[in-house]
Each structure stands twice: as C-alpha cells, then as structure tokens.
Structure 1
Amino acid sequence: MEKTYYHSQKSASFVGRHARKKSDFATSPKTSDVSSAIDIYGDTAWRETVENVDDHNADEISLLIDQFATTLSSIDNKSDPPEVPNYVETFSKIIESKIVKYYSADGENKFGKTEEEDSFFLESVLRVGKLTTAFGDFPAGCNAAPSLDRVSVVLQRAMAFLEEEFRDLLEGSRDLKEEESGRSVLHEPERDKGGEQEFPGYSAEAVARMGRVATAMVASGYATECCQVYSVARRNAFTEALRCTEFDTVPIEEIQKMQREQLEGDISKWINTVKRCATVLFPCERSLCDAVFSQNETISAGLFSNLAQAVIIQLLNFVDAVVLTQQSAEKLFKYLDMYEALRDLILSIDRTCADEESSGELRSELTAARDRIGEAAVYLFFDLENSIKGDASKTPVPGGAIHPLTRYVMNYLEYAGVYKDTLEQIFQTNHILAQSLSSTKSDKSNDREIKNQNPNKPALQFSIQFITAVELLDENLNAKSRLYRDPSLRYIFLMNNGRYILQKIKGSTEILQLVGDTWYRMRSTVVRQYHKNYQRETWGRLLQCIGHDGCQVNGKVYKPVVKEKFKNFNLMFEEIHKTQSTWVVNDSQLQSELRVSISGVVIPAYRSFLGRFRQYLESGKQAEKYIKYQSEDIELMIEGLFDGNPNSMGRRRT
C-alpha cells in the first residue's frame, strides 16, 4: 500500500515528493537552498511558463553557453563582468522544461526512457555547474549577480531532481527488479543475455544510469547530497540482507546468559553471515560502488569503507560477547569456525579494497577480533589438557575396556586435526601465551622429538600441543591401570586404550601428519610391549606348570610330579579362561592377534608336554583325571577369550 502511495506522487508536484524524502537526511546548506528553490517550482503559473519552452536550437545554445563560461573564467578583472546574454536565460528555461517534462500527468517517470534526452539533460546540468562556478568568481552586487542567482536556482532544481532520481534508481529500481525476477539483494550477481554483469538487485542499465547521475551531481558540487542518498539506500539494503541471514544483534548480557545450544545456533548464524559478507555481499557492494562512482575512485572507496565498517561493527560486537561467555573445551570448534570466517573476511577486504588506505582500519578491527578468538581458542585447548589431568576417577572400566576418557579425548583430537592448519596459525601467533599456560615439561621434549624427525624444519606449535595432550592421556591411563589388581588385566586395559589411540591417529591423515611417522612407530612399540607384558604375566606362568623340570629323577619319569603338573595346568588354565573370558578387547583385529599369539605359545608347549608324558599315566579314568584337555580343546577355549562372555568355555573334543 505504501509503495502505491509513493508512485502516485509522480503525478503531483516534484516539491511534495522531494520534501517528503528530504526528512531522511541531515540538512546541509546546499540542501536547504535546494528546498527553497523547489518551493518556486511548485508555482503552477511558473511551471506553465517553462513547460513548453522551444528547445529546437538547444544544441546551438549549449555551445554558446560553453563559450560564455570560458570567457567568464578567462577575465582577469573580476570586478567588471561582461553583460550577460539573453541565451543564458533561455538555456535556464530549457533545463527547467526538461525537468517538468520528465514527469507526465499520468505519473510515469520519463527519465531513463530516452538515452539521447538523458544525455543532453545531464550535459546541460554540467554546463550550468560550470557557469555557476564562473559567475561565482565575481563580487556580490555586480551586474552579474542576478544572473548568478538565476543559474544557481536552476542548478538547485536540477540537483533536487537528480537527487530524487538517484534515490528512485537505488530504491525503486531494485524493488521493481526483485519483484519481477523473484531475486533478492542477497543473490550473487548474475549475467544478462548480453553477457554483461548484473549487480545485486539491479540491472546493468539501472547501474549505468546511476553512474551518469552520480557523475553529474559530484561534478556540480553536490557530492555530499549524492553520497547521503547512496549511503542510506545501500545501508537499508544491507540491513535487509543481514536480516535474511537470520543473524540478529543481541545485547552482550543476553548472549552471556544463553544456554549452550542456543549460543551455538547463534554462532552458526553469525558464521553464515560473515561468510556471506566475504563471498557475496562485500564484493558485490564494492563492484556496485565502483560502477556508480567510476569517475570518482576516492568517493567509491570511502562509501564502501563506511558501509562495510557499519556492518563489521555489528559482527564484531557479537565476537566480543561470545569470548566473554563461560568457557569450556567443547566450544573450541565453534571458535575455530569463527576464526576462519574472520580470516576469510579479512582476505576478502584485502582483495576488495586492494591497497587503499580506507581498508587499513577495517583490516585492523577484523584482525584484532580474529586474534581475540584465537587467544580464546588457545585457552580452550588447554582446558582439554587440564580436564585430562584432572580426571581422577577411581572406578576401573569393567573388563579392561576402552575408557570413556580415551574415547572423548581422541575423538576431540581427531576433530581438532581437521583444523590443524588453523590451529597451527593460532598457536604460532600465541606461542608465548601457550608456553605460559603449559605446566608440563613434555612440551620441550616433544619439541626436540619433532625437530629430530626433521632437523631442518621448525617444530610446529600445534604438533607439540597435540602430542602433549596424547601423552597426558597416556599418563592418566597408566594411573588408571593401577586400579586393576590383576597385572594381566592392567596390560589388557593399556593395550585396549593404546590400540584405540593408534587407530584414531592412523585413521586421520591430518593427525598422522601432525605427529609424524617416527612418533607413531614409537607409540606402536609401546603398545606391542603391553602385549608382551600381558603374555608374560598370564601365559608365561601357565607354561611354567608344564615345564619339564623335575619330571625325571635319575633318568626316569617321576609320575607324581607329572600328575601334579597336569593338575596345576588344568586348574590355572580353567581359572584364566573363566576370568579372561569376561575381559573385553573391542578391536577385532587386536582380539584375533592376541588369540593367535596365545595359541602360538601355549598349544605347542602343551602338545609337547602331553606327547612326552601321557604314556606314563595309567589308562582309563585315572588318565582322564589328569589329562582333561586335548590340544584342540585348549585351542577352542582360547578362541573364547576377550569377548566379555563368562560362559564361553567352549566344547571339549572327545
């Protein structure tokens, strides 16, 4: 409804429309002059005197005006101006008649319909501007003063007209284009059928007209009014664009009270908005500025800088609020997303503004905000290290399975590996802060380890922190392993968790690059040692039961010792199987490796003992009393280990 009212004003006087629009701007001296000039234009009788002025010789008069302006400028004695010819008044009326004719009785705007007419009008406005400047060199009260007043009024009317047209092009053309095409100012520029680039919400033709109007206004000394109209229109458009991204400016106090889920949602909207600004809105806005003010690069740079700064201030206020919220390690990845978004926005500003001085302040503010986020990210990463050191739970995980802390830390570090380049940049920038926060001596040793892998390459700061976090986890797991009374179960626990850590590292290209092959092989050796220690603690003691020592006395088999060894073997094996069937090895490959290695040690030894001494036991029930298992039975029962099932005793072969 409001838009219908706005366009209906076209049929009324230009004065009413202009007065309504002028309330949007701060009034400058020139704007006040323009307003008073427009009041004269509202005079119907005067309008009729200029509406039908004969302009058939307009080109000839234009040349005469150029010559007269040159003559005025070349006069040395400014106190004695020449007589003003009649064609100056005629030229003034021709321009005023053009303004009147641009608006027909049906309210249709004729400006922009005929390129030849528009070009003549704009060139005429520039001539009036030159003529006004030339008259202005003469003192007040001279015989040229009335002519100066006359051309000044004409220029003011022309500027008021162009100002309104400029506003219409910025607001009306965009609204109309969006209605017709269904596109929004948020859309990337498209290309028309002729291959020329379109601008956000505007056709190439509309932008070209804006450029011609802007050039005329600036050249005529009305740059302030021109820039005001442009700034207000584009800032409104940008506000609309930001609103469409669903990012809202929220007071710091409310952000600090937000629950985690709501805050993360707002951060995601903020990130999308910043990315939108970096990839679409700012580049397109700068292209529009440069196209409209192609003859005035300084004005273009200043307008874009002012607009971008107003938007960036809103975005950075959010950053300041977020870094003041309560910190937790889980927020790290949202912070890293924010850091990357700001980093990309800085690159976009650098590309958009090139080496312009106006970009310096924008870049400085963005860089400072990015660094605040980076510093907060360092604190968050150290929160992870502190949480590892602070996890002092005294309840052992049943069956020696993977500890929840191991899963949490390695999943966290795996995700951090995706951001390894960003985190490296952050830790390089904040290496002094990182050193002050580190309370472990392992950082320096890790630094040396990484340098030893490649002496010619400086140690990556994030690699050091990553390895430190894994080693802190390792120290914590070693402490937790002592909660198990059974030494064998301790090694199962360490093996499970160590293998999980290795899998996470090997499964991520980014993490493997961080730690390096040398460090990974070192960790693999440690896990293999857990395996050996477990095998020695469990199966080494079992094999002692069937050792051949003491089985012969004076060259003869001593049956009581043989019987005792079979009896002890059976009891110990059954106890091991009963216990270790409830233990858990989550990784199927590790489970298979353990079973194979156990069988490879136990089966040959048992088969040898059985083959050597079974003949010395009496046959029948007495033999079965001591020889309860065949080699195949032992192998089958070993297959039931480490699956967490206490009933997996297997079936004896008969």
Structure 2
Amino acid sequence: MPRKGMRSICFPSRAPSFSVSRHSSSPARPSSASTPRRTFSDSMIEQSIEAAAALVTKWDPESSTYAKVTSLFYESKAEAMEFIKCVNDLQRAMQALVSGNSTSDKLVLAQNLMQIAMKRLQKEFYQILSMNRAHLDPESVSARSSRTSARSSMSDYEDDDDVGTAGDAIDEVEEVSSIAMADLRSIAECMISAGYAKECLSTYKIIRKSIVDEGIYRLGVEKLSSSQINKMNWEVLEMKINSWLSAVKISLKTLLHGERILCDHVFAVSDAIRESCFAEISKEGAILLFRFPEAVAKSKSPKSPEKIFRVLDMYTAISENWPEIESIFALESTATVRSQALAALIRITESVRAMVSDFESTLQKDSHSKSLVRGGGVHPLTLDAMNYLSNLADYSHILEDIFAEWPPPPRSSLPESYFDTPQSDDSQAPAISLRMAWLILVLLCKLDGKAEHYKDVSLSYIFLTNNLQHVVSKVCTSNLRYLLGEEWITRHEAKARQFATNYERLAWGKVAASLPENPTAVISPAAAKEIIRKFNLSFEEACQKQRTFVVSDPKLRDEIKESLARKLVAVYREFYDTHRLTVGGERNVGSYARFAPEDVGNHLSDLFFGTTESVSSPSSSSSSSHRRRLRFRS
C-alpha cells in the first residue's frame, strides 16, 4: 500500500473501469469477430439443421435414458466440441432463415432443436460446476498464476521424491481445473451467443454464490451489530477479531480473488455479463466481511485497553490489502464493497482518535492522584501508561495516517513551566511524534503532582527519578525511540540525573557536611573524635530514614550508590585512617565510631531495595553480608 495510507484511500485517483453497459435479459449477439457472418445457401442450412438434429436428439434427456444419466463432456470431449460446433452452425442457419423466410418449417425445427440443445448445455454446465467444486475452489483457481514460479523453485530439489510427488499432484489439479474452466467457457459462450445468457448465469450464480457464502461463513465471519458487540465480554470479542483478521486475508488473497479469476475466464465474451455476475456472487459476502470492523469500531464497549490494538490490527489488515480490494472490486457494480471497506477505515480512525483522547483524559483525571508508592518506586500509572504507549508506537505507520488531519492538543491545557522549550514551530514534525510526546508530557505532569504528596522531599525526588527513568527506559527499548528522537531521550536522561542529584543533596547533604573538606588536615584529637561521632550519628540517621527507599532500575541504583560512595566512603576512610590512632587508639575506636569505612560501604550497598531492616551494627552487618555488595573504590 502506498505510504500515504489513509489519505490516498480517502482521495484516490479514479479507479479503472471496464466501461461496459449492463446486459439486458436478452444479451446482444456476439460481434463478427467471435462469430463471423457468412451467407448460407439452402444446402448449407439443411446440412446444419440435419447435423444438429442428429447430435442434439442423441443427447436429449427427454428421448434417451442414456442421455439422461450420462454427461456429454465427460463421455466424449471430441463429441462435446462437435455438439458446440453444431449448435453454433444451427444458430447461423436460423439467422439465415430469419432473414429469408421466418415462417418456414425449417425455422420452427431449428428453434425446437436449439431449445433442446440449450437445456442439454445448461445441464452440462451445472454438472461441470457441481462435479468440479474441489478443482474449481477459489484457492486452486487463484493459485494458477503462481504455479509456474512455484514449479521453477522446485527444480532445485528435483531429486526429492516427496517434492516430485507434490509437484505431480499440483499438475494434476491444475490440469483438471484448466479443462473444467475451458469447458465452462465454451458452454457459456455458446449459450450467450444463442441468447440464453439468463439460463447460463442463473446456474452459475446459484452454485458459485453458495461457495463464496459458505467460504465466508467457514472463515468465522458473522453478521454482528454494534449492540450485539456491546454485550460481549472482551475475551469473546477478541477471539472474533482474531478470526476476522485471518478471514480477511484468506478472503482477499484466495476466496474472492479466485472467484474473480474464474468469473472473468468463464464469461470473457462479455464484460457486462462478467461484471454483473461477479457482483451478485461476491457482494453480499464481501460487504458482510467489511461490516464487522465498522461494527467493532462503533461499539462503545467492552472497555479494555487492548481494544485499541485489535482495532488497529483491523485497520492494518484493510489498508495493507487495499490494492487487492481495488483490484477485485474495481468495477462500478462492486463499488459498494469498496465503499464499505472505506467506511470501516473511517470509522476505525474515529474510534482510535476517541480512544487516545480517553487515554489522555484518564491521565489528566487520575482518581488516585494522592496515592503514594512505598519507597518512591515506579507508580502503577507510569507502568500502565508506558506499556500502552510503547505498544501503540508499534503501529506508528498506521497512526501517522490516523492523526495526520487531527489537530494537536493546545499547550495551554498544561502550565507553560512544564515545557522544556518555548513555543516552537512543530509543523514539520510527524503528527504521531507530537501526539506521543504530548501524552508522555501529560503523564510526567501528573507524576509531578503525585510527588508533592510525599512529606519527605528527598523521597519525592527518588519517586521522580524512578518514574522518569522508567519512562526513558521504555522509550529507548521501543519504537518510541524513533518517534521521539535522540534529543528527547538526552534531555530527559539529564532531567532524571538532576532528580537523582537533588535527592543526594537533600538526603545525604548533612552526612557529607559532617566531614571536613580536607580529611588529612591536622586537628586536635577532641575535634577529630567529634567529627567521627557526628558522621556516624548522621549516617545512621540517614540510613534509618531511607531504609525503605527504592530505586527500581539496577543501573541507576548502582550509579547513585557509586556517587554516594565517592562523596562519603572515600573521604571518611581517609579521615578515619588519619585520626583513629590519635583519638584513643585502636581498641577504643569502637566507642565513638560505630561504623568503620567498610561498614559504611556495606550499608550503602544495602540501600534502595525497599527493605525494612534497621541499620545493623558492624558485627551483624558483616555476618549478614550474603546481600549483594558493591566494591567502592576509596
């Protein structure tokens, strides 16, 4: 399908047409190209009538039990072709008689013979259609054009007996199918030429329409209204949508495509006849096929986040198969099928836009705005929203068409402070990229509001860091990356790091401030002892306060711990090693220094897992060192 997608479908160039007039109940006689006109002498007329009388009478079901139970075309193909020739000659003889003496006995005889012959051919036509249902199934017919290439690809495996057997089976099916199609065409041309198109078409339509309708039914396509769909639970509807997705592909590639080929071949003698015939055979089933997605899109329930993705799957199925739809239903008589398929696309477009608007509204009006996540972890709203948007991004090629003509939301609906850059010209950006960026912005604004409900400001920054990091991570690992671009990712990664820096400053600033800027400076033992005591107290207090804090992303968790270790462990170790012997000796250090430098590193390593354990003493800390530890460089 062309990249323009929905727009090219809504405003297509004029579809090709056969430009034929609809046939009347008495089809026009074939042109001189198909039945050359020539002057019959009386002797030629008599010979034609006599030859026709002999063969037509032989195969008259009313005068012969043999003719009643035997098929002319299956009994003797040569005699069948002779029968067709005799009927064509009989028709020319009748034309000559009409132009000379329309009341002659010969004309009456010829007319009677013609009626008997037409009944015979109608019977043969029905038998060929009925007995060859398996060989004239749409799959066999539609595959004929591709069998040459299939056989050539098999030539690489000529030594494979199984492939050879399969190839023989395909050849046999193709041969039977070709013979049946040729016989049907011969009969159809003869009957149409003789003015019996109505009888021929009636037989063809009855059998072939039943095949199309049965095929559509067996593919699981049902006639369902929007009200019926509204009463379904999501599991049932999703199953029906999945059945439809399979059905539409098979219907267009095989069922309807094969029927189009067969109809065009059998009634090649008349564009008008084959057009009206195919329309009557296929229209009802095809319209039923394309009404289903429209009904699903119209329905207001069931309410399920998954619905938008299945609806987009249906849009994709129609748009990707649009060339087949235009090709199969190109004629004016089947324009209603194209219109129905287009109506389904338009209704799906409206439905998707409405569902995206509902999603945005859900973000804006989140009823759990004051709900807090323990430890400042990733909020369920963030998880659900980013799963939704990352899955939605998988349909970006379709959504670009759907949102192309839909104006973006006004920036005035959010405070200007939430925008990273001043109002700019976004006219060149893809509509779907703008829409996705906007929806994420709405989510981040909502998360800002949730962060304000944490009493501990440092915990609010942990919350913002976790949630923004999750947003960025989902963008980087989905098609959102290509929609939003590297600049968006870089900008929001920097913002996440800034949140983490603010957390460190607020949560650990007092601990860092308890250590001197120059840990090796000469100070009195009393001052050194007081510094160690203050550091231990502030560190213990900070750990105790933050023991339930969570950093969900492992990489971010390690980065924060490494940063804290550089600011605390290294400085504390240097100060501790410099002054511990001067303030009381090795044995007394435990009385004022609860934490040795390695204990500080271990406790930092235990943070951000959301545990409720109290800060343990150095001995118990080392005994419970089964927890994962980081090796901090001092």
Normalised to the residue count of structure 1, the TM-score between the two structures is 0.77
Residue 161 (str. 1) matches residue 136 (str. 2): no
**Match of 1:62?**
none
SS in 2 for 1:174: coil
Matches within 5 A, 1:101-500: 104=66, 107-137=69-99, 144-174=103-133, 189=143, 193=168, 203-327=177-301, 328=303, 329-352=305-328, 356-358=331-333, 360-393=335-368, 394-428=370-404, 430-432=405-407, 458-500=428-470
**Match of 1:557?**
524
Residues 409-433 of structure 1, C-alpha deviations (whole Å, 9 max, x = no match): 11111111211111112111x424x
Counterpart contact for 2:40–2:93, Cα < 8 Å:
no
Distance in structure 2 (CA, Å) of the matches to 1:605 and 1:391: 46
Residue 516 (str. 1) matches residue 475 (str. 2): no
Matches within 5 A, 1:501-580: 501-508=471-478, 510-547=479-516, 557=524, 559=526, 562-580=528-546
Counterpart contact for 2:138–2:254, Cα < 8 Å:
no
Distance in structure 2 (CA, Å) of the matches to 1:532 and 1:513: 28
Distance in structure 1 (CA, Å) of the matches to 2:415 and 2:104: 87
Amino acid at match of 1:94: A
SS in 2 for 1:338: helix
**Match of 1:22?**
none
Residues 535-593 of structure 1, C-alpha deviations (whole Å, 9 max, x = no match): 111122211122369999xx96383x554443332222112212323222222222211
Residues 476-530 of structure 1, C-alpha deviations (whole Å, 9 max, x = no match): 111111121111111111111111111111112x221111111111111111111
**Match of 2:607?**
641
Which region of structure 1 is more displaced relative to structure 2, 369-378 or 109-118?
A: 109-118
Shift in Å at residue 137 of structure 1? Answer: 4.8
Shift in Å at residue 215 of structure 1? Answer: 1.5
SS in 2 for 1:396: coil
Q: Would the alpha carbon gap of residues 496 and 85 (structure 1) be closer, same or farther in structure 2, given more than 3 Å must change?
A: closer
Distance in structure 1 (CA, Å) of the matches to 2:276 and 2:412: 45
Counterpart contact for 1:95–1:154, Cα < 8 Å:
no
Shift in Å at residue 91 of structure 1? Answer: 3.5
Amino acid at match of 1:588: P
The partner residue of 1:99 within 52, 59, 63 is 59
**Match of 2:164?**
none
Which region of structure 1 is more displaced relative to structure 2, 513-522 or 212-221?
A: 212-221
Counterpart contact for 2:209–2:282, Cα < 8 Å:
no
Which region of structure 1 is more displaced relative to structure 2, 640-649 or 407-416?
A: 640-649
- Larger Rg over CA atoms: 1
Residues 314-351 of structure 1, C-alpha deviations (whole Å, 9 max, x = no match): 12332332223225443101110111122233221224
Q: Would the alpha carbon gap of residues 648 and 149 (structure 1) be closer, same or farther in structure 2, given more than 3 Å must change?
A: farther
Counterpart contact for 1:255–1:263, Cα < 8 Å:
yes
Distance in structure 1 (CA, Å) of the matches to 2:391 and 2:550: 26
Counterpart contact for 2:72–2:79, Cα < 8 Å:
no
Distance in structure 1 (CA, Å) of the matches to 2:401 and 2:421: 17
Distance in structure 1 (CA, Å) of the matches to 2:252 and 2:561: 57
Q: Would the alpha carbon gap of residues 564 and 136 (structure 1) be closer, same or farther in structure 2, given more than 3 Å must change?
A: farther
SS in 2 for 1:431: coil
SS in 1 for 2:217: helix
Distance in structure 2 (CA, Å) of the matches to 1:482 and 1:148: 102
Distance in structure 1 (CA, Å) of the matches to 2:202 and 2:400: 45
- Percent sequence identity is 27
Residues 50-102 of structure 1, C-alpha deviations (whole Å, 9 max, x = no match): xxxxxxxxxxxxxxxx9996248xxxxxxxxx899644542341242242389
Which region of structure 1 is more displaced relative to structure 2, 326-335 or 115-124?
A: 326-335
Distance in structure 1 (CA, Å) of the matches to 2:492 and 2:45: 98
Shift in Å at residue 377 of structure 1? Answer: 0.9
Distance in structure 1 (CA, Å) of the matches to 2:211 and 2:168: 26
Residues 161-213 of structure 1, C-alpha deviations (whole Å, 9 max, x = no match): 212221222222215x59xxxx99699746574976957x9722212211111
**Match of 1:583?**
549
Counterpart contact for 2:511–2:535, Cα < 8 Å:
yes
Distance in structure 2 (CA, Å) of the matches to 1:96 and 1:446: 90
**Match of 1:36?**
none
Distance in structure 1 (CA, Å) of the matches to 2:71 and 2:102: 39
Normalised to the residue count of structure 2, the TM-score between the two structures is 0.79
Counterpart contact for 2:132–2:180, Cα < 8 Å:
yes
Amino acid at match of 1:541: K
Amino acid at match of 2:471: I
Distance in structure 2 (CA, Å) of the matches to 1:498 and 1:338: 33
Distance in structure 1 (CA, Å) of the matches to 2:345 and 2:239: 20
**Match of 1:52?**
none
Distance in structure 1 (CA, Å) of the matches to 2:411 and 2:141: 45
Residues 229-266 of structure 1, C-alpha deviations (whole Å, 9 max, x = no match): 22221110012212221222234432221122212222
> How many residue pairs align between the two structures?
563
Distance in structure 1 (CA, Å) of the matches to 2:104 and 2:474: 87
Q: Would the alpha carbon gap of residues 123 and 103 (structure 1) be closer, same or farther in structure 2, given more than 3 Å must change?
A: farther
Distance in structure 2 (CA, Å) of the matches to 1:412 and 1:143: 80
Counterpart contact for 1:227–1:303, Cα < 8 Å:
yes
Distance in structure 1 (CA, Å) of the matches to 2:390 and 2:142: 35
SS in 1 for 2:618: coil
Residue 604 (str. 1) matches residue 570 (str. 2): yes
Counterpart contact for 1:603–1:635, Cα < 8 Å:
yes
Counterpart contact for 1:305–1:362, Cα < 8 Å:
no
Q: Would the alpha carbon gap of residues 437 and 373 (structure 1) be closer, same or farther in structure 2, given more than 3 Å must change?
A: farther
Amino acid at match of 1:316: F
Q: Would the alpha carbon gap of residues 511 and 284 (structure 1) be closer, same or farther in structure 2, given more than 3 Å must change?
A: same
Distance in structure 2 (CA, Å) of the matches to 1:194 and 1:350: 33
Counterpart contact for 1:171–1:233, Cα < 8 Å:
yes
Amino acid at match of 1:171: S
Distance in structure 2 (CA, Å) of the matches to 1:274 and 1:346: 11
Counterpart contact for 2:363–2:443, Cα < 8 Å:
yes
Amino acid at match of 1:478: D
Residue 90 (str. 1) matches residue 45 (str. 2): no
